[in-house]
Structure 1
Amino acid sequence: MSYVNPPDFVAKMIDAGEAKVFMSTRDTVIRAYMAGAILALAAAFAVTVTVQTGNALVGALLFPVGFCMLYLLGFDLLTGVFTLAPLALLDRRPGVRVRSILRNWGLVFVGNFAGALTVALMMAVIVTFGFSVDPNEIGQRLGEIGTDRTVGYADHGAAGMLTLFIRGVLCNWMVSTGVVAAMMSTSVSGKVIAMWMPILVFFYMGFEHSVVNMFLFPSGLMLGGDFSVADYFIWNEIPTVVGNLVGGLTFVGLTLYATHARTGATRNPGTLDDFTVPDKVNA
């Protein structure tokens, strides 16, 4: 059967985290660059479909194609390494240190951002005919997304920041579940089906993904969005990165590791330590 049991795929998670920590700088950046570019193109695709059909669900249903492609090609997203790399440290793999994990995260961030920015520039050129005309309907929508999801949060102050952070947490709960879900199967079809479901949830619910936003907001700035670079980093990217880290590590990495890699001691089935059963129940 192609299904992999939880203890076995959690072992794969730890191995993957260790491999990413020790990967060369060259390979880490290349893989992160391509991941950012492919995910950005998938986001552009989803926005295009949504605008043309007027149905956000259709765009969300199709967006996971990019995530599946980049995963099957062995590329790395920041949201994924947030979840996997720390597991190698928790498992006390030789040579894994906090600084080596931070190095991996930093390189993946830079690579993802460069890849997403490349596609943002390409899309800006396409929707404006090389900046010779005003943005078309798709370009206008990209500008609106950037404004709504920066200034829109800022208008609510601390409550907006909290909302942004929680959307980041929920996002990487789903995205990292997609990363892990691909390890649950040894077949390509099984991996794709397992990845598709949580990625669909995150995108349709409008949760905040740091790498997707590396495309949406720079392209929005190029296309006349009414917000600044400072707005983007303060009122979206930085809180989103923190939320993604908390969500992926807390709700996916640590929980799976705790219950499948470092399981608690089994109880003796012949004892009733936790409760007593009365001899009879009074009427």
Structure 2
Amino acid sequence: MYQYAENYGVTKSARGHKQSIALAIFAGAFIALAFVFYITVTTGSTASWGGVRLLGGLAFSLGLILVVVCGGELFTSTVLNTVAWAQKLITTRDMFICWVRVFIGNFIGAILILLLVFAAKMHDLDGGAWGLNALHIAQHKLHHTWGQAFALGILCNMLVCLGVWMTFATKDVLTKVVLLILPVAMFVSSGFEHSIANLFMVPFGIVIANFAGSGFFETVGVSAAEFSDLTVSHFIFHNLIPVVLGNIVGGGVLVGLGFWAVSNQEKNATQTLSHKENTESQTLASRQLNR
């Protein structure tokens, strides 16, 4: 799996800009579609708090499954190219350029799905309850402290990258799908923060709050003023920045560099043992010659 991770990082960094961005657009769209599924599943559910979130998490796992099976470029898993960087197979510049272009592509894909979903007036589903659910989800994401958002970002991408790492162990598509479901279900149901999912969810809440119209808010029986904190600047500085940094630490540092450090220790131990065995063999051969 570790050797596969090295090649994984090199391949992502070596892709041409156009191909990388195109694949990233697909991945951003896949994650956005998964969040649409999450909203639908959790709207109006009468199950327990944990049960609702588990159902939503299982639904959201569709996003990462589509990314892995269909070959999209997702920022949160792309940070695993820290393994290739640590092995000096790619440069620091290559690594950061790869992150930036994938993030841009993910943003474009998320916004494309946002526009389609809003144009389809999905926020009016279930008498507006669907849109109200989306508003509450988006607003909740902006109520974390900076440190809390950062920590939730770390926890989220640990699970995303561990899920992706497990798929390196097999070439069977169905096995990959099964391996991805529980890590994704856990991070979603536990409320961890995924930066690319947020690129769809929070802007979608902002769009509903500002463009759904007074008729929507009259239907759901709430005031648009209740969601006045859903602004672009609030999203960027109170959620997106700390969550992106947390995702990099959780996936790129704790998982990627963590496994790299373990692998290096194993290599060093193997080399030390091999050197010791060679030394002992040479000593034994020398003694036999002397005899």
> CA, structure 1 residues 58+134, in 2 after alignment: closer, same or farther (shift >3 Å)?
closer
Q: Once the 2 structures are TM-superposed, how far is the Cα of residue 115 of structure 1 from its aligned partner? A: 0.3
What aligned pairs does 1:87-166 form with structure 2 within 5 A after superposition?
87-93=83-89, 96-127=90-121, 136-150=128-142, 152-153=143-144, 160-166=145-151
Match of 1:59 among 56, 59, 73: 56
Q: Which amino acid aligns with 2:86?
A: L
Q: Which moved more, 1:18-27 or 1:188-197?
A: 188-197
Match of 2:14 in 1: 22
Q: Which moved more, 1:218-227 or 1:230-239?
A: 218-227
Q: Which amino acid aligns with 1:204?
A: S
Q: Which has the higher helix share?
A: 2
Which ranges in structure 2 are unaligned for 5 or more consecutive residues?
A: 47-51, 210-226, 274-291
Write the deviation string for residues 31-81 of structure 1: whole angstroms up to 9, x where unpaired: 000000011100110111011434222111221122111111111110111
Match of 1:86 in 2: 82
Match of 1:76 in 2: 73
Match of 2:278 in 1: none
What aligned pairs does 1:211-226 form with structure 2 within 5 A after superposition?
211-224=196-209, 225-226=227-228
Match of 2:163 among 170, 178, 188: 178
Q: Once the 2 structures are TM-superposed, how far is the Cα of residue 186 of structure 1 from its aligned partner? A: 2.0
Question: In the alignment, is the contact (CA less than 8 A) between 2:53 and 2:188 conserved in 1?
Answer: no
What is the count of residue pairs matched by the alignment? Answer: 248
What aligned pairs does 1:7-46 form with structure 2 within 5 A after superposition?
9-46=1-38
Structure 1 residue ranges (4+ consecutive) displaced by more than 3 angstroms after TM superposition: none
Write the deviation string for residues 145-195 of structure 1: whole angstroms up to 9, x where unpaired: 222211x22xxxxxx111111000000000111111111212112111111
Could you tell me the TM-score, scaled by structure 2's length?
A: 0.80
Question: In the alignment, is the contact (CA less than 8 A) between 1:32 and 1:115 conserved in 2?
Answer: yes
Match of 2:41 in 1: 49
Over the matched positions of the two proteins, sequence identity in percent amounts to: 29
Question: In the alignment, is the contact (CA less than 8 A) between 1:182 and 1:194 conserved in 2?
Answer: yes
Question: In the alignment, is the contact (CA less than 8 A) between 1:76 and 1:108 conserved in 2?
Answer: yes
Q: Distance in 2 between matches of 1:198 and 1:146?
A: 22
